Structure 1
């Protein structure tokens, strides 16, 4: 019985630490309330506060926007290009230039 209580306490502590760290560590402002209010809710309502934070308080990721039924807000129909650095084998411009260079090298060798 003591092992179960210790296990549940450790799970609770991990959830509390994860929620507070996530709340304080984000660059974007949380939804609905300010950070100090969220920390108070997380600490004073042990499990419920952390669950509320993860469900309603976290800021939305930059890539996701509100829209009905479509992940990109209903604008456009095709896949979106990722923002930021792209691996060379995923970059169509890089692959196009590489193919062009290989064809030019083959022509020079012939």
Structure 2
């Protein structure tokens, strides 16, 4: 029984901390109320306040408009503009190959 209470208390604490951190750390303004009001609601009414923050108050990031992509794009999946990782970069691979050829062999 004590373990259940400890678990519920820790879950409650995690929800409150996550909601307050998300509220104070967001880059977009929250919906409906100011950040101060949301923090007050989350702290005073812990479980319900956290659930309300994540369902109602949290700002949604703006969606890109359908026609705002690159000119001539079909709206399908975008290919990366450049190499994604060093091992995909042809210049990087050429440089490694050159270094390996130029190193003196130790035998």
**TM-score, normalised with respect to structure 2:** 0.63
What's the counterpart of residue 23 of structure 1?
A: 23
The higher radius of gyration belongs to 2
Partner Cα separation in structure 1 for residue 75 and residue 57 of structure 2: 31
| 8 Å CA contact 2:31, 2:56 repeated in 1 | yes
| 8 Å CA contact 2:16, 2:46 repeated in 1 | yes
Distance 1:80 1:32, change over 3 A: farther
What's the counterpart of residue 32 of structure 2?
A: 32
Q: Deviations over 1:8-60 (max 9, x none)?
A: 00000000000000000112111110000000111111111001100111111
**TM-score, normalised with respect to structure 1:** 0.61
Mapping of residues 1-110 of structure 1, within 5 Å: 1-62=1-62, 64=63, 75-76=66-67, 78-79=75-76, 81=78, 88-89=83-84
How many residues align structurally? 81
Q: Flag structure 2 segments of 5+ consecutive residues without an equivalent.
A: 68-73, 85-89, 91-107
Q: Flag structure 1 segments of 5+ consecutive residues without an equivalent.
A: 66-71, 90-97, 99-110
Partner Cα separation in structure 2 for residue 79 and residue 56 of structure 1: 31
RMSD across aligned positions (CA): 2.8
Q: Deviations over 1:36-94 (max 9, x none)?
A: 000011111111100110011111123x26xxxxxx5xx35723659xx86625xxxxx
